[in-house]
């Protein structure tokens, strides 16, 4: 597929192995917002890491196979997908761990302020960690909807998602950053439901710190390591709480005290999970092969899928996701009576989605491997169950 700005949805389907439906055929896989499908390139990279690198190179792999440099090497590749110039992103621990480190570090950038402002509907781990970080940092946690946030002179940190994990609503990150900065607060954005499905312009928007998953729309595999972004202007003052040895300026000096590595490298904690990292590196080729469309094209294809799905739904379907393209992310959520039961019934019909309490079904439109037929089939099967 030649590079252009509006690829046909499903253009890279042949590069993936899709989960099986009960009849043995490929499923209509609309759970890529939860766990992306498997790119062949991720499998190949993982097999090579196991059979050639670990087995045959052993400990020398840290240098000879480039393992040691992987967190930043992959960081730059992921950074290119979120509008970050090189040297500002590191890949390593889970989103939860990265978020913990960044929220504390953000609070430490504004030591004289007392409030941590967070999205009331944030993903549970983001809410639980904000609660703990507020306690540890002596902050008061206030929660509200991102579009209703009113940071003031006492606000240290504003923590928001780019897209609501439940409803699929896309927030106006530019406006949020502008309000936060006008009040002197630091913004920590969670890009888990945005990275790989739409362009995000971290540098241009002036976002301070960000985290995101790589096992959703980046297809890195179950538990793939997350990424953390720190804008260059904060590098030399960033004071992370997890002072692990691999974030040391001289990790093999084995010195008494922790001296932070220059730049974003100080966010490294322990030994990177190489097998997961290398699988992710393979998976990223879906996005940065010379033949891949740019992210505006990926976004257009995902919106086209969502549109086809919405058009094919029966009248009266209770769609909670905003219909305007500007205001939705990569998935569409539909309110139903028995979400778990319907999710299971759809799976029996070969349509894989997920359910979120209390009453939502989420249909994820990962454009590289989902086709317009898939989107319409899902709507038809949902209608048949109602
Ligand atoms: C998926 C997701 C997470 C997941 O966190 P893990 O530590 O990877 O389990 C966190 N935050 C948001 C907003 C998410 O969508």
* Residue whose CA is at the smallest distance from ligand 1 atom 6: 95
* 8 A C-beta contact, residue 36 and residue 279: no
Closest CA to 145 of 118, 184, 168: 118
Write down the pLDDT at residue 290: 67
State the closest ligand 1 atom to the C-alpha of 226, by its place in the atom list counted from 1.
Answer: 8
Structural domains in the chain plus CATH codes: 13-38+292-385 (3.90.1150.10), 55-287 (3.40.640.10)
Q: Give tens-digit pLDDT for 340-363.
A: 999 999 999 999 999 998 999 999
325 CB-contact burial (10 Å; exposed 0-12 / middle 13-18 / buried 19+): middle
Q: Give tens-digit pLDDT for 247-285.
A: 999 999 999 999 999 999 999 999 999 999 999 999 999
Terminal C-alpha separation, the chain: 38
Q: Looking at 77, 170, 216, 266, which residue is catalytic?
A: 216
Q: Looking at 100, 123, 227, 363, which residue is catalytic?
A: 123
pTM reported for the whole predicted model: 0.97
Residue 350 C-alpha to ligand 1 middle, in angstroms? Answer: 26
State the closest ligand 1 atom to the C-alpha of 216, by its place in the atom list counted from 1.
Answer: 1
* Residue whose CA is at the smallest distance from ligand 1 atom 14: 192
362 noted as active-site residue: yes
Residue 123 C-alpha to ligand 1 middle, in angstroms? Answer: 7
Q: Give tens-digit pLDDT for 217-257.
A: 999 999 999 999 999 999 999 999 999 999 999 999 999 99
Burial 24-63 (b: 16+ CB within 10 A, else e): eebbbbbbbbbbbbbbebbbebbeebeeebbeeeeeebbe
Distance CA 236, CA 43 (A): 38
* pLDDT digit string (tens) for the chain, length 386 residues: 444 557 999 999 999 999 999 999 999 999 999 999 999 999 999 999 999 999 999 999 999 999 999 999 999 999 999 999 999 999 999 999 999 999 999 999 999 999 999 999 999 999 999 999 999 999 999 999 999 999 999 999 999 999 999 999 999 999 999 999 999 999 999 999 999 999 999 999 999 999 999 999 999 999 999 999 999 999 999 999 999 999 999 999 999 999 999 999 999 999 999 999 999 999 999 998 767 889 999 999 999 999 999 999 999 999 999 999 999 999 999 999 999 999 999 999 999 999 998 999 999 999 999 999 999 999 999 999 97
Residue 316 C-alpha to ligand 1 middle, in angstroms? Answer: 32
Over the chain, what is the mean pLDDT? 96
């Amino acid at each position: 597929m030649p590079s252009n700005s509006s690829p046909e949805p499903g253009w890279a389907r042949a590069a993936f192995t899709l989960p099986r439906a009960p009849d043995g055929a490929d499923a209509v896989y609309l759970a890529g917002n939860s766990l992306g499908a498997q790119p062949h390139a991720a499998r190949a990279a993982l097999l090579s890491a196991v059979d050639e690198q670990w087995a045959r190179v052993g400990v020398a792999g840290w240098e000879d196979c480039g393992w040691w440099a992987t967190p930043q090497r992959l960081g730059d590749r992921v950074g290119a997908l979120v509008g970050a110039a090189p040297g500002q992103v590191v890949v390593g621990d889970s989103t939860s761990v990265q978020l913990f480190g960044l929220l504390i570090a953000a609070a430490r950038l504004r030591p004289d302020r007392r409030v941590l402002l967070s999205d009331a509907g944030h993903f549970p781990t983001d809410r639980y960690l904000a609660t703990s970080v507020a306690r540890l940092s002596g902050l008061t946690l206030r929660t509200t909807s991102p579009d209703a946030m009113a940071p003031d002179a006492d606000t240290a940190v504003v923590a928001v998602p780019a897209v609501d994990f439940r409803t699929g609503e896309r927030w106006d990150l530019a406006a949020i950053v502008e309000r936060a900065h006008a009040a002197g607060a630091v913004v920590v954005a969670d890009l888990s439901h945005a990275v790989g499905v739409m362009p995000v312009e971290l540098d241009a928007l002036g976002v301070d710190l960000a985290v995101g998953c790589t096992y959703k729309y980046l297809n890195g595999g179950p538990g793939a390591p997350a990424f953390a972004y720190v804008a260059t202007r904060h590098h030399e003052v960033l004071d992370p709480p997890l002072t692990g040895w691999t974030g040391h300026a001289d990790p093999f000096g084995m010195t008494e005290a922790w001296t932070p590595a220059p730049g974003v490298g100080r966010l490294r904690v322990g030994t990177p999970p190489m097998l997961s990292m290398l699988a992710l590196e393979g998976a990223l080729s879906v996005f940065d092969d010379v033949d891949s469309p740019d992210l505006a094209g990926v976004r257009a294809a995902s919106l086209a899928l969502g549109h086809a799905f919405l058009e094919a739904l029966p009248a009266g379907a209770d769609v909670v996701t905003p219909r305007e393209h500007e205001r939705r992310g990569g998935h569409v959520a539909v309110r139903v009576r028995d979400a778990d039961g319907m999710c299971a019934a759809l799976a029996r019909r070969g349509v894989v989605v997920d359910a979120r309490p209390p009453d939502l079904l989420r249909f994820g439109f990962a454009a590289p491997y989902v086709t317009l037929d898939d989107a319409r089939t899902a709507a038809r099967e949902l209608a048949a169950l109602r």
